[in-house]
């Protein structure tokens, strides 16, 4: 493994594919067999390669890194020690910004759920909920290891930054809209309350992006975790909200969500984690729903308006708003947020009607 101390002035002047081709050739592989994969919403690029006679995934970063403090490698070591189903790291080349990892195949849980029978879907979702509890059970280990994840948190500043990102990119980048000064101030005050209350909740280890596109189904039907490099401490409801509500295209059943919450609390108890009152957890879950789904809309707006990936992300914006409204109405709070979202959704429906007439 080459170390970043060997970085040359040319290290940043070659593309991800060029660096990977050279890496594959150095390791006796065939660069012509490299397959670019669909990019996610990050600066990393992913490729499928043949590595030492097996298929593997190469993550290529935009710059060299120190493997001892690299977030993905740090959290991989933590999760692996906790027996969580993460990919095996096959090779690391810090100089060229490359991490080669086990290939779990192409089946995302999101896609598996679309074609699963009712029984299969139930089994998948329960297995995924169980993984959230397993991650939280690794909280003490994260602190003992002094993992990067244990030193980051969804504090008020982080939660507020994500909601500011929503304000900037939904109203600004996507809609080109400037809110009235008084409305903007009141809306920000409501969102600040969301951040402050969630930041005050007890914290546990969170994956941070535990939606069904970041969970893979391997050849044996086992769920495997990816894209966890942003793991940090946060509310116990955070990953469960992501799993159940992120990137939905329809409003979820309240009864189903309640059943999942109760199942999750039982899974926590089974692991010796602190018991949580179901009603108190339901309130936190709804508050987390408001924050997480608005944060997601900010990301979808940015991807649509700034990075021009509208076909992929725009479809989720109105369903996320519907989920936020459902949660805010359940809480009986955030009146300006509720009226603002309803108005924007109605505008979108009128525009769609005019376009189809």
Query: Can you give the pLDDT at residue 236?
Result: 98
Alpha-carbon distance of 220 to 231, in angstroms, equals 26
Domains 28-102 and 109-352 alike in fold: no
- Residue pair 195/159 in contact (Cβ under 8 Å)? The answer is yes
State both tokens at 338: 């509720």
Reference 295, options 38, 41, 37; nearest CA is 41
**pTM listed for this prediction:** 0.91
Contact, 33 vs 43, CB < 8 A? no
Work out the angle between the directed axes of helices 238-245 and 278-305 (0-180°, nearest 10).
Answer: 60
- The 10s digit of each residue's pLDDT in 86-112 is 999 999 999 999 999 999 999 999 999
Domain 109-352 top-level CATH class: alpha beta
**What is the Cα gyration radius of the chain?**
21
Upper half-sphere CA count for residue 7 (Cβ side, 13 Å): 15
Q: How far apart are CA 35 and CA 13, in angstroms?
A: 21
Has domain 28-102 been given CATH number 3.40.50.300? no
Residues 83 and 134: their CA atoms lie apart, in Å, by 9
Tell me how far apart the alpha carbons of residues 185 and 199 are, in angstroms, rounded to a whole number.
Answer: 21
Question: Rounded CA gap, 2 and 14, in Å?
Answer: 17
Q: Do the strands 98-102 and 54-60 form a parallel or antiparallel pair, or are they unpaired?
A: antiparallel
Domain ranges of the chain: 28-102, 109-352
197 closest CA partner among 319, 321, 280, 294: 280
End-to-end CA distance of the chain: 62
Alpha-carbon distance of 112 to 115, in angstroms, equals 6
Return the C-alpha torsion angle 131, 136, 138, 142, nearest 10: 130
Per-residue pLDDT of the chain (357 residues; tens, 9 = 90+): 555 554 444 455 688 999 999 999 999 999 999 999 966 556 789 999 999 989 999 999 999 999 999 999 999 999 999 999 999 999 999 999 999 999 999 999 999 999 999 999 999 999 999 999 999 999 999 999 999 999 999 999 999 999 999 999 999 999 999 999 999 999 999 999 999 999 999 999 999 999 999 999 999 999 999 999 999 999 999 999 999 999 998 888 999 999 999 999 999 999 999 999 999 999 999 999 999 999 999 999 999 999 887 677 888 999 999 999 999 999 999 999 999 999 999 886 665 555 554
What is the spatial distance between Cα 60 and Cα 236, in angstroms, rounded to a whole number? 32
């Amino acid at each position: 493994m080459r170390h970043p101390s060997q970085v040359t002035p040319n290290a940043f002047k070659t593309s991800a594919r060029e660096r990977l081709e050279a890496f594959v050739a150095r390791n006796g592989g065939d660069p012509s067999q490299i397959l670019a994969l669909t990019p996610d919403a990050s600066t990393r690029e992913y490729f499928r390669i043949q590595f030492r006679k097996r298929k593997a995934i190469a993550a290529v970063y935009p710059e060299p890194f120190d493997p001892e403090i690299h977030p993905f490698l740090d959290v991989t070591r933590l999760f692996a020690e906790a027996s969580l189903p993460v990919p095996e790291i096959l090779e690391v080349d810090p100089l060229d910004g490359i991490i080669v990892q086990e290939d779990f195949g192409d089946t995302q849980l999101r896609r598996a759920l679309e074609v699963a029978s009712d029984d299969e879907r139930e089994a998948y979702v329960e297995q995924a909920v169980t993984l959230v509890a397993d991650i939280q059970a690794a909280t003490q280990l994260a602190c003992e290891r002094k993992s990067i994840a244990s030193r980051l948190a969804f504090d008020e500043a982080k939660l507020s930054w994500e909601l500011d990102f929503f304000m900037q990119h939904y109203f600004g980048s996507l809609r080109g809209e400037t809110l009235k000064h008084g409305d903007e101030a009141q809306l920000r005050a409501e969102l600040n309350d969301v951040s402050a209350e969630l930041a005050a909740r007890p914290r546990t280890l969170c994956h941070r992006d535990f939606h069904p596109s970041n969970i893979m189904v391997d050849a044996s039907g086992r769920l495997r975790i990816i894209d966890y490099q942003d793991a940090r401490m946060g509310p116990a409801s955070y990953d469960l909200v992501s799993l159940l509500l992120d990137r939905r295209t329809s409003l979820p059943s309240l009864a189903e969500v309640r059943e999942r919450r109760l199942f999750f609390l039982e899974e926590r108890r089974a692991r010796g984690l602190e018991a949580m009152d179901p009603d108190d957890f339901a309130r936190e879950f709804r508050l987390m729903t408001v924050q997480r789904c608005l944060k997601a809309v900010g990301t979808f707006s940015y991807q649509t308006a700034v990075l021009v990936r509208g076909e992929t992300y725009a479809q989720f914006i109105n369903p996320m708003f519907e989920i936020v409204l459902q949660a805010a109405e359940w809480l009986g709070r955030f009146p300006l947020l509720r009226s603002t979202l309803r108005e924007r959704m109605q505008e979108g429906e009128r525009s769609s009607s005019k376009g189809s007439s």
